[in-house]
């Protein structure tokens, strides 16, 4: 029995047919999340959208009962924790089957098997996905993403047909794909090769000429080197063209329901996709990316391993694309895998001019192993992708990573891997990259499926071990050094610790250390069963026992804390000591090689030492560790709360516990210091939330709440989601109503960031209910405010207004001025969005005065900036520039960089409208640079749109179009509808300037549809003007006049002035009796 979604929604075979649109919607919603609980609130929200009747909850139960009978198995759909889950095995939906077939092709070596899998995947589509559910917004989004998976599968199928010599079969598929993607060079290259191999040389060359002309006309560029080489090879009938094609790897499609930003299906004549060159998102990202150089520092006294270095040179040469691309250095703990990998990577880094990426996957640590998605986020950031631009789904993030590295020479070092699945998503796809993996296991799956080569790393030879000890201790006692090396099992980590013990005792001899090491019980164990790690334990024990009691206590407490490393203030809180004493103890531990010095004033533990420290903590008793973790939790709560309050004072927090005697609240001098602390501590804060959730500590939801305002500003859904999920789970199990209200509010906020606004509404309604149950009126106000944001993004301005009004009143009653002013500002923003500019102007004027009265310079500056922007829309440019300039000066003085970037962007727009293009370009460049620096994707998108507008005004329509397309791509990824609409309108103008009238009409119509759907009234006016101009160019005077009248109606109703003169001119030109323009 299978649920089919790739076409009409149905169960095959079924006991009874599934009829009714809502019933099918319930089935599809559950089947798109197999095995996962979908809450009843979310189901009502997405199945009925905005038309849910009062009886929706009862009707939902009825639909579920019907579906259970249709399955013939009442356990197929189970009720769990306020929702339902569909229990399906593997491949029990056609979507699962299609995804599996496509993904398997990446690891299948046999061409005929790849081809069979891709043919089977494509055949699963019986028509448009979710064909019965049109008109339901959430399902339309899912359908677009499923149809995008079809496009990926079709492309991979064409590539594989060509690889196995089925040229005639590949040609029609490639011709269809090229029509849909007329600027995709890779598709055209494949089509040329297919035609040539099918003995259709003339047609192959015609494909090249057609693409060359199209690229020149539309983008002002030539075909790339690969295309030019292929044309030359066809002209000379190069026999190599008849050889085997490199094994293609299909692109993984996005998984529905994964939480990723919604994808848009490319289709013919759509500028958003078909006008972009292949892999355009990656190209745009890499254009501004820095060259990463992430290798850790080398060990200065690295000894031996000459044979292994030569072996690595042979296995991973940097200059041959035919060499193996993956090598696994495998060996026991402490054997020096990381040291060897880092040493070799530094040695050959000049062979990889595009950079070196490094991560510690922490697979053999007490900390949770690094997930591939988290590592991809770090790698993409290093490659120039903004934090908001990192996809939230593993498949999408991995695909973007592979695209960015496709044509680069990058060395990727993956340290401490546990399993192949942890590595596979991090493997580049391009032939120029090399991957060096270290692991305690052999990672046989990588060897078998990815063709990795394995280098087994053993302990040092006796001579190498003695040489290392001699270098470390500076003493020449040949016999004692040899015996000490033997007792340490020739293990590099143990040798270093033993040497540190010798050096710690003034005047000590190596022989003294040998005698002490022989006396340990663990050494007896080593001698009995040959367990080399016992020698490490003995060395650890000697180092540990040599410490002072205070240093021993700090060492074992470090093993109890979550997170990869720790700064002095956090360690001081953990130990309950003053920072100066803590710093001395940390240095003593580092000097004993028990902890590592990392970034300035930060310290971490090797994974073996962390295990040993955790053992000692358990031996010392739970009371000591629990007390220490409580102090550390308190420090993180106070510090994160204070830093977040400085960065985002409008985000309310749960009431914090009272400060204990001796505790201090960290002080941050400005928002830069607060931001820097949060950025540095973020991995520890996230790890603490997860650890606290597992232990049932209130810190899970309290810390998630304290850092929520910071995570909202960063808008990195992939980073925030695990925090919100852990907090919600802990709050449900152990928290009260206020805890659940906070957890649901932040969970809803994550879904706003992810662009999943219907889901956000459902979660935020739960937050509101719990806040009311708890009597937490501030939390109730915050839930109303967040609901207003979600409804606003859905274009439901009436509901947004009601929510913001409720939030304003509740904040006022609670006496929370920052919250009240935030709600008032959001209300004024709705007035702007609805075109109620006079009301918005009055609201911002009052807000600025009120903020000035209460002494909030930052608040006053924000409202002056909003007032300036609104006055600019009303055509009062002089006052607009004056207020925005004043706003900019205040924001710069108080160090609010987000608001500085926003003010620069608005000033760039005003100067663009007035024709001061040099000044406009300077402001736009400043806004873009600052937005990228602080990781604010929406301001970055706005700045790209302004820069593109300046280029268009200067007559450089090709570059303008490219920048508008880049802005639109980013906006779609971020679910930023305003930025997407603005980019579409700009594309319409740029396409008109390039003579592409049909494309201009198409994108202008898309802009009108989007702005109408999302309640963006002023931008809809701009879109009507753009469409009117395109129709006039097309000599469609009737349509041009109609669009101009629609624009003028908005002008008259709102007072909006941008484009009004153009609309009036078009009406004049299209009046009866007027000659056609031009």
- Provide the H-helix boundaries in 775-876: 777-793, 797-814, 817-834, 837-853, 857-873
Q: Which range (384-398, 831-845, 1038-1052) has the least confidence?
A: 384-398
CATH number of 549-620: 1.10.10.10
Calpha distance 727→739 (Å, rounded): 9
Q: In this model, does residue 889 exceed pLDDT 80?
A: yes
Calpha distance 806→779 (Å, rounded): 12
Mean pLDDT to the nearest integer, 81-100 = 84
Calpha distance 310→965 (Å, rounded): 48
- Residue 373 near residue 397 (C-beta atoms within 8 A): yes
With residue 329 as reference, give the H or E element that holds it: strand 326-330
Q: Give the rounded percent of residues in the chain with a pLDDT score beyond 70.
A: 88
Calpha distance 984→217 (Å, rounded): 19
Residue 455 pairs in a beta bridge with 329
Q: In this model, does residue 314 exceed pLDDT 90?
A: no
- Provide the H-helix boundaries in 671-796: 671-695, 699-706, 708-714, 717-734, 737-753, 757-774, 777-793
Q: In this model, does residue 295 exceed pLDDT 70?
A: yes
Distances (CA, A) of 262 to 414, 601, 1010: 30, 41, 15
Three-state SS string over 189-204 comes to HHHHHHHHHCCCHHHH
Three-state secondary-structure class, residue 298 = coil
- Residue 641 near residue 666 (C-beta atoms within 8 A): no
What is the pLDDT at residue 534? Answer: 45
Residue 597 pairs in a beta bridge with 603
Half-sphere exposure of 176 (CA within 13 A, CB side): 9
Three-state secondary-structure class, residue 1037 = helix
What is the pLDDT at residue 447? Answer: 83
Q: In this model, does residue 262 exceed pLDDT 50?
A: no
Q: In this model, does residue 312 exceed pLDDT 60?
A: yes
CB burial string 249-276: b at 16+ within 10 A, e below: ebbbbbbbbbbbbbbbbbeeebbbbbbb
Q: In this model, does residue 100 exceed pLDDT 90?
A: no
- Residue 998 near residue 979 (C-beta atoms within 8 A): no
Stronger pLDDT, 1074 or 246, i.e. the higher one: 1074
- Residue 257 near residue 165 (C-beta atoms within 8 A): no
Q: Which range (251-255, 799-803, 957-961) has the least confidence?
A: 251-255
Our measurement of the distance from residue 1000's CA atom to the centroid of its chain's CA atoms, rounded to an integer in Å, reads 32
Calpha distance 383→285 (Å, rounded): 8
What is the pLDDT at residue 322? Answer: 47
pLDDT band at 888 (very low <50, low <70, confident <90, very high): very high
What is the pLDDT at residue 837? Answer: 93
- Residue 797 near residue 833 (C-beta atoms within 8 A): yes
Residue 877 corresponds to which tokens in the numbers above?
């440019």
Helix 857-873 / helix 897-914 crossing angle, nearest 10 deg: 20
Nearest one of 361, 425, 357 to 395, comparing CA atoms: 425
Residue 360 pairs in a beta bridge with 415
Q: Which range (519-533, 536-550, 896-910) has the least confidence?
A: 519-533
pLDDT band at 220 (very low <50, low <70, confident <90, very high): low
Stronger pLDDT, 455 or 279, i.e. the higher one: 455
pLDDT band at 858 (very low <50, low <70, confident <90, very high): confident
Distances (CA, A) of 378 to 411, 422, 718: 15, 15, 11
Domain ranges of the chain: 2-92, 95-257, 306-456, 462-545, 549-620, 955-1069
- Residue 843 near residue 821 (C-beta atoms within 8 A): no
Express each pLDDT in 456-467 by its tens digit: 888 888 998 888
Calpha distance 144→746 (Å, rounded): 27
Three-state secondary-structure class, residue 954 = coil
Q: In this model, does residue 355 exceed pLDDT 50?
A: yes
What is the pLDDT at residue 1017? Answer: 92
Fold match between domain 95-257 and domain 955-1069: yes
In this structure, whether the domain defined by 306-456 belongs to CATH 3.20.20.70 is answered with no
What is the pLDDT at residue 365? Answer: 56
What is the pLDDT at residue 1041? Answer: 94
Residue 453 pairs in a beta bridge with 327
Phi-psi region of 270 (alpha: psi -120 to 50; beta: other; left: phi over 0): beta
Phi-psi region of 324 (alpha: psi -120 to 50; beta: other; left: phi over 0): beta
- Residue 275 near residue 919 (C-beta atoms within 8 A): no
- Residue 510 near residue 502 (C-beta atoms within 8 A): yes
Calpha distance 1055→1033 (Å, rounded): 27
Calpha distance 708→576 (Å, rounded): 27
Mean pLDDT to the nearest integer, 500-527 = 60
What is the pLDDT at residue 288? Answer: 34
Express each pLDDT in 576-625 by its tens digit: 999 999 999 998 888 777 888 877 789 988 766 787 888 899 999 999 99
Stronger pLDDT, 278 or 1061, i.e. the higher one: 1061
Q: Give the rounded percent of residues in the chain with a pLDDT score beyond 90.
A: 38
Q: Kindly report the CATH class assigned to 2-92.
A: mainly alpha
Express each pLDDT in 166-187 by its tens digit: 888 888 888 888 887 787 787 8
Q: Which range (202-211, 265-274, 674-683, 994-1003) has the least confidence?
A: 265-274
Phi-psi region of 915 (alpha: psi -120 to 50; beta: other; left: phi over 0): left
What is the pLDDT at residue 283? Answer: 33
pLDDT band at 268 (very low <50, low <70, confident <90, very high): very low
Our measurement of the distance from residue 21's CA atom to the centroid of its chain's CA atoms, rounded to an integer in Å, reads 34
What is the pLDDT at residue 866? Answer: 94
pLDDT band at 914 (very low <50, low <70, confident <90, very high): confident
What is the pLDDT at residue 205? Answer: 87
What is the pLDDT at residue 864? Answer: 94
- Residue 505 near residue 478 (C-beta atoms within 8 A): no
> Which residue is listed with tokens 């010392």?
620
pLDDT band at 54 (very low <50, low <70, confident <90, very high): confident
Average pLDDT, the chain: 83
If one counts every other C-beta atom within 10 angstroms of the C-beta of residue 548, the result is 10
> Which residue is listed with tokens 């001061």?
916
Calpha distance 630→635 (Å, rounded): 9
Residue 388 corresponds to which tokens in the numbers above?
């908001």
Q: Which range (47-51, 207-211, 289-293, 984-988) has the least confidence?
A: 289-293
Calpha distance 792→789 (Å, rounded): 5
Express each pLDDT in 721-762 by its tens digit: 899 999 999 998 888 999 999 999 999 999 988 878 899 999
Nearest one of 5, 29, 20 to 126, comparing CA atoms: 5
Q: In this model, does residue 321 exceed pLDDT 60?
A: no
- Residue 627 near residue 697 (C-beta atoms within 8 A): no
Calpha distance 1053→1017 (Å, rounded): 11
- The shares of helix, strand and coil residues in the chain, as percent rounded to the nearest 5, are 65, 5, 30
With residue 271 as reference, give the H or E element that holds it: helix 271-274
Calpha distance 319→323 (Å, rounded): 9
- Provide the H-helix boundaries in 198-260: 201-219, 225-235
pLDDT band at 153 (very low <50, low <70, confident <90, very high): confident
If one counts every other C-beta atom within 10 angstroms of the C-beta of residue 803, the result is 27
Mean pLDDT to the nearest integer, 1014-1020 = 92
DSSP state of 54: T
Calpha distance 193→189 (Å, rounded): 6
Q: Which range (3-12, 157-166, 899-908) has the least confidence?
A: 157-166
- Residue 895 near residue 671 (C-beta atoms within 8 A): yes
In this structure, whether the domain defined by 95-257 belongs to CATH 3.40.1260.20 is answered with no
pLDDT band at 366 (very low <50, low <70, confident <90, very high): low
Number of H helices, E strands in the chain: 50, 13
Mean pLDDT to the nearest integer, 214-231 = 73
Residue 187 corresponds to which tokens in the numbers above?
């598709």
What is the pLDDT at residue 681? Answer: 92
Half-sphere exposure of 145 (CA within 13 A, CB side): 26
Nearest one of 58, 119, 608, 558 to 335, comparing CA atoms: 608
- Residue 139 near residue 153 (C-beta atoms within 8 A): no
Mean pLDDT to the nearest integer, 342-346 = 91
- Residue 901 near residue 936 (C-beta atoms within 8 A): yes
Q: Kindly report the CATH class assigned to 955-1069.
A: mainly alpha
Our measurement of the distance from residue 380's CA atom to the centroid of its chain's CA atoms, rounded to an integer in Å, reads 8
Stronger pLDDT, 900 or 486, i.e. the higher one: 900
Residue 40 corresponds to which tokens in the numbers above?
């009843």
């Amino acid at each position: 029995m299978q649920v089919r979604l790739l076409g009409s929604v149905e169960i095959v075979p079924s006991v009874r047919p599934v009829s009714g649109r809502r019933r099918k919607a319930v089935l599809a919603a559950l089947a798109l999340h197999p095995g996962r609980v979908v809450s009843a609130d979310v189901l009502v929200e997405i199945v009925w959208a905005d038309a849910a009747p009062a009886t929706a909850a009862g009707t939902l139960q009825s639909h579920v009962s019907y579906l259970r009978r249709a399955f013939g198995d009442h356990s197929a759909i189970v009720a769990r924790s306020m929702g339902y889950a569909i229990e399906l095995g593997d491949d029990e939906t056609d979507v699962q089957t299609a995804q599996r077939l496509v993904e398997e092709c990446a690891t299948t070596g046999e061409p005929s098997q790849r081809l069979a899998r891709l043919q089977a995947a494509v055949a699963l589509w019986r028509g448009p996905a979710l064909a019965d559910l049109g008109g339901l917004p959430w399902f339309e989004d899912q359908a677009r993403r499923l149809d995008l998976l079809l496009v990926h599968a079709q492309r991979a199928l064409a590539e594989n047909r060509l690889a196995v010599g089925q040229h005639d079969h590949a040609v029609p598929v490639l011709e269809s794909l090229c029509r849909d993607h007329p600027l995709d060079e890779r598709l055209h290259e494949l089509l040329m090769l297919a035609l040539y191999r099918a003995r259709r040389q003339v047609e192959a060359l015609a494909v090249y000429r057609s693409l060359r002309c199209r690229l020149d006309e539309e983008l002002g560029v030539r075909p790339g080197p690969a295309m030019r080489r292929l044309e030359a090879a066809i002209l000379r009938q190069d026999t190599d063209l008849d050889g085997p094609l490199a094994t293609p790897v299909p692109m993984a499609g996005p998984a529905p329901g994964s939480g990723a930003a919604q994808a848009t299906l490319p289709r013919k004549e759509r500028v958003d996709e078909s006008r972009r060159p292949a892999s355009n998102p990656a190209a745009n990202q890499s254009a501004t990316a820095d060259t990463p150089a992430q290798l850790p520092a080398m060990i200065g006294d690295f000894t031996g391993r000459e044979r292994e270095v030569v072996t690595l040179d042979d296995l991973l040469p940097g200059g041959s694309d035919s060499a193996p691309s993956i090598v696994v250095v495998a060996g026991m703990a402490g054997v020096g895998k990381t040291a060897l990998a880092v040493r070799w990577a530094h040695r050959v880094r000049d062979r990889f001019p595009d950079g070196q990426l490094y991560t510690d996957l922490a697979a053999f640590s007490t900390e949770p192993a690094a997930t591939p998605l988290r590592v991809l986020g770090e790698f993409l950031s290093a490659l120039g992708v903004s934090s908001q631009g990192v996809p939230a789904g593993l498949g999408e993030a991995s695909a973007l990573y592979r695209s960015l590295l496709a044509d680069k020479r990058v060395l990727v070092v993956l340290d401490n891997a546990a399993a192949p699945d942890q590595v596979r998503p991090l493997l580049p796809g391009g032939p120029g990259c090399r991957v060096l993996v270290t692991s305690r296991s052999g990672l046989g799956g990588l060897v078998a499926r990815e063709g990795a080569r394995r280098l087994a790393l053993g302990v040092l030879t006796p001579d190498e071990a003695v040489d290392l000890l001699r270098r470390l201790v500076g003493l020449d006692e040949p016999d004692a050094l040899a015996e000490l090396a033997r007792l340490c099992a020739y293990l590099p980590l143990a040798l270093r610790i033993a040497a540190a013990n010798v050096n710690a005792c003034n005047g000590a001899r190596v022989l003294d250390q040998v005698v002490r090491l022989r006396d340990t019980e663990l050494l007896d164990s080593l001698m009995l069963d040959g367990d080399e790690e016992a020698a490490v334990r003995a060395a650890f024990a000697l180092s540990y026992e040599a410490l002072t009691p205070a240093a021993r206590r700090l060492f074992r407490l470090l093993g109890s804390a979550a997170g990869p490393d720790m700064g002095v203030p956090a360690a001081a809180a953990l130990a309950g000591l003053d920072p100066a004493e803590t710093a001395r103890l940390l240095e003593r531990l580092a000097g004993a090689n028990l902890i590592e010095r990392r970034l300035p004033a930060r310290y971490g533990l090797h994974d073996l030492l962390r295990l040993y420290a955790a053992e000692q903590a358990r031996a010392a008793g739970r009371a000591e560790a629990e007390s220490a973790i409580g102090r550390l939790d308190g420090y993180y709560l106070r510090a994160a709360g204070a830093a977040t309050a400085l960065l985002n004072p409008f985000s309310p927090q749960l009431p914090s516990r009272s400060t204990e005697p001796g505790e201090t609240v960290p002080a941050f001098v400005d928002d830069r210091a607060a931001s820097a602390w949060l950025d540095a501590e973020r991995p520890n804060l996230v790890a603490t939330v997860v650890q606290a959730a597992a232990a049932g500590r209130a810190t899970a939801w309290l810390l998630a709440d304290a850092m929520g305002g910071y995570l909202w500003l960063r808008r990195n859904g992939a980073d925030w989601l695990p925090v919100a999920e852990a907090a919600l789970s802990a709050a449900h199990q152990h928290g009260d109503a206020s805890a659940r209200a906070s957890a649901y509010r932040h969970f809803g906020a994550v879904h706003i960031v992810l662009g999943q606004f219907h889901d956000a509404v459902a979660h935020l309604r739960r937050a509101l209910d719990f806040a009311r149950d708890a009597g937490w009126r501030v939390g109730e106000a915050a839930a109303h405010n967040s609901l207003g944001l979600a409804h606003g993004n859905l274009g439901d301005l009436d509901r947004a207004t009601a929510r913001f009004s409720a939030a304003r009143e509740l904040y006022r009653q609670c006496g929370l001025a920052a919250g009240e002013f935030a709600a008032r500002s959001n209300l004024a923003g709705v007035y702007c969005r609805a075109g109620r500019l006079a009301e918005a102007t009055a609201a911002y004027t009052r807000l600025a005065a009120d903020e000035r009265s209460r002494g909030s310079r930052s608040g006053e500056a924000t409202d002056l900036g909003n007032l300036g922007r609104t006055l600019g829309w009303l055509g009062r440019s002089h006052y607009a520039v004056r207020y925005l300039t004043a706003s900019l000066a205040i924001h710069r003085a108080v160090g609010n960089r987000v608001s500085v970037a926003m003010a620069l962007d608005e000033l760039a727009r005003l100067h663009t409208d007035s024709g001061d293009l040099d000044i406009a370009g300077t402001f736009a460049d400043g806004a873009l640079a600052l937005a990228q620096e602080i990781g604010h994707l929406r301001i970055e998108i706005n700045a790209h749109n302004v820069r593109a507008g300046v280029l268009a005004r200067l007559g450089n329509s090709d570059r303008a179009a490219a920048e508008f397309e880049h802005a639109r791509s980013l906006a779609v990824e971020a679910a930023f509808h305003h930025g997407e609409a603005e980019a579409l309108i700009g594309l319409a103008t740029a396409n008109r300037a390039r003579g592409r009238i049909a494309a201009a009409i198409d994108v202008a119509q898309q802009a009108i549809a989007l702005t109408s759907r999302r309640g963006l009234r002023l931008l809809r006016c701009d879109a009507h003007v753009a469409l009117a101009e395109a129709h006039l160019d097309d000599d469609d005077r009737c349509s041009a006049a109609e669009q101009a009248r629609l624009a003028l109606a908005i002008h008259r109703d709102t007072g909006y002035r941008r484009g009004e003169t153009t609309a009036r001119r078009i009406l004049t030109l299209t009046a009866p009796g007027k000659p056609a323009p031009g």
